[in-house]
A and B are shown apart, each in its own frame.
Chain A
Amino acid sequence: MTVLEIRNLSVFFSRYYNWFRKRTEACLNGLELSVGAGQLVAVIGSSGSGKSLLAHAVMGILPRNAGWSGQMLYKGELLTPQLQQRLRGRELALVPQSVSYLNPLMQVGKQVRMSGGGVRSRTELRSMFRRYGLESQVERMYPFQLSGGMMRRVLVSTATLGGAELIIADEPTSGLHAELAQETVMRFRELADEGSAVLLITHDLESVLPYADAIAVLYGGTSIEVAPAHYFSGDGTMLRHPYSRALWTALPRNEFTPPKGKPLVRPARSAAGCPYREYCESASEACRSGQIPVRRVNEGWVRCIDAT
């Protein structure tokens, strides 16, 4: 069952660049994505490419000067602000990336218990903490007293307490050493195996690959390819978009060649054409104009006219 389906999502900011004229800047442009129950989909993109905005858009907690267009469906139902408000902290959970997402002046347990607009019981919290190997005294600690590993487990536990059906993890492995990163991703795999749909946003392809069902590659503010995780293997020929292949070959265990050109984090000024065309070896005139259509090829899809 598809839990979340995102169609043609664009997120933009409007800011005044002088007293009178307002300019909107797109950060995400025509993004497509879907995740089903029991699935773990990793969203890969370079840092600053608006991945967090994707998470915030789904949760409905974008900043005030941001807007979005497109369609988001939760279990087939249009995700409106009202629905988002009703689901947040219950069926819809966000796992943030760092300690700064906890109120520094409030005990950790108190904050975790405050999910879904109500206060959860102590026993519920205690059993949840036990599941993640957190001792009961952690409840009464303040965020600054937690170690990196404890912090991560506390943040993951916030998602499980509400029994969320859709969990969005925003860079849960950033700044963690390999072992801890692996442990964290494993926890999300566990949650997916229990039936939740997990959207794991990260720039760390290597640590999510063994646990993800599918990988969505973000480039230039849009999703360029969604492929099953096992496509990222061998010399990467199963991948159909040149940028996805470049990402794969850039890993230390492969050729370790960095992708050509600088990472394009924002949509190009003109949204037309393929955002990767400047660096693509097989780019043709057709890549420069129009919207590149999404093509379904075997499993997953790709946004490239050369794909076969």
Chain B
Amino acid sequence: MIRSLLKFLLGKMLRLVVLLAAISILSFMMVKMAPIDPVQAYVGADLLKVSEAQREQIAAYWGLDQPPLAQFLTWGSAVLKGNLGTSMTFRQPVTDVIAERFLSSLALMVSAWALSGLIGFAAGAAAAMNRNTWVDRMIHWYCYTLAATPAFWLGLLLIMVFSVWLGWFPLGLGVPAGMAADQVTLGDRIYHMFLPALVLSVTGIATIALHTRQKLAEVLDSDYIIFARARGERGFGLFWRHGLRNIALPALTLQFASFSELFGGAVLAEQVFAYPGLGQATVQAGLRGDVPLLLGIVLFSTCFVFAGNMIADLLYTIIDPRIRSRDGGDPLEAG
């Protein structure tokens, strides 16, 4: 068991390295082709005061006069040493910016992730147990509507209704404006996070609900449910042992595999709510031509999504007895 797990992890790590290398090359090429002028990004608004000669000096200082391949190698070897460079927007090392921004994004993403998982799973289970009734149809309709709703539009709508008209929630930002950092309470943070988390969770609900409904409907129609009933099992015990347990795993896997949508959604949600997370930093880095930060975020988000997918794979390998034994592990030892 331990050995096969190590083998699994080693294989995954190898794949991650290859993936990161490919992503680096691809993103670097794309940045090079994009109409971004790094010198202008570095100098910022003072562009008019900088002469042509000074620009060339700056370019030479940053190595921008070298051919692209040499530039890539310079950047790549620095990355390998753990140095992602300095963000020109934040005037801070890229790693610091990512760490700080990711932490505040993490709270947002985790709560949205848990929320969408719970709501989606509950809705899907409710729909399957009331198949072809009005409950099922309502949940279906709701899911299709949610799936067709752009997150940023929903965000704007919620701001309009709950922040502007009703005044229940703040307009944006992660903490109350103008308050000293040490005075901000956990309550303040949750209060500011509520609407963005809600918007971010919406993208995941429909997928998980429809998937759960389908799976549970299959289970409820299955022969083994019939036989379990024939053995006298019934009610919640029957549902728990043979229904929930058999669909919870695929649902959880799907949820872990949805990290990419979560990250993509965070970019939009954070932008709409001016929430100071990694998503917002991504937009800023893109708009201001902050190449080191942009590439750093790309690499980081790759790892993030990869981790989600790996957890999903791992869950299946550990929990599902059929896959477990195919991988060489003996379920008799594990059980």
Interface on A for B, CB 8 Å cutoff? Answer: 56, 59, 61, 85, 88-90, 93-94, 96, 98, 100-107, 111, 114-117, 137, 140-142, 144-145, 158, 162
Contacts and interface: CB of A to CB of B under 8 A. Distances in A.
Contact of A141 (B226, B320, B332): B332
A61 B332 contact: no
B231 interface: yes
A88 B241 contact: no
A145 B320 contact: no
B137 interface: no
8 contacts: A88-B229, A88-B231, A105-B320, A106-B245, A114-B231, A117-B234, A137-B332, A142-B331
A200 to B, nearest CB: 16
Interface of B: 222-224, 226-234, 241-242, 245-246, 249, 320-322, 325, 331-332, 335
B224 A104 contact: yes
B223 A100 contact: yes
Closest 8 CB pairs of A and B: A89-B232, A94-B230, A101-B227, A89-B231, A88-B232, A100-B223, A142-B321, A117-B232
Contacts of B331: 140-142, 145
Nearest to A94: B230
Contact of B223 (A101, A141, A162): A101
Q: Which of A103, A111, A137 has the most CB of B within 10 A?
A: A103
Given A85-B234, A114-B233, 9 more contacts: A94-B231, A103-B228, A105-B249, A105-B321, A106-B242, A114-B228, A145-B325, A145-B331, A158-B231
Contact of B231 (A98, A116, A137): A116
Contacts of B226: 56, 61, 96, 101
A104 B228 CA distance: 12
A107 B241 CA distance: 12
A104 B323 CA distance: 12
B133 to A, nearest CB: 11
Nearest to B222: A100
B54 to A, nearest CB: 69
Contacts of A101: 223-224, 226-227
Contacts of A59: 229-230
A137 B241 CA distance: 22
A61 B230 contact: yes
Contacts of A93: 230-231
A88 B234 CA distance: 10
A115 B232 CA distance: 6
B7 to A, nearest CB: 22
Contacts of B229: 59, 61, 88
Contacts of B325: 142, 145
A105 B210 CA distance: 22
Contacts of A61: 226, 229-230
Nearest to B320: A105
A145 B331 CA distance: 10
A87 to B, nearest CB: 8
B231 A140 contact: no
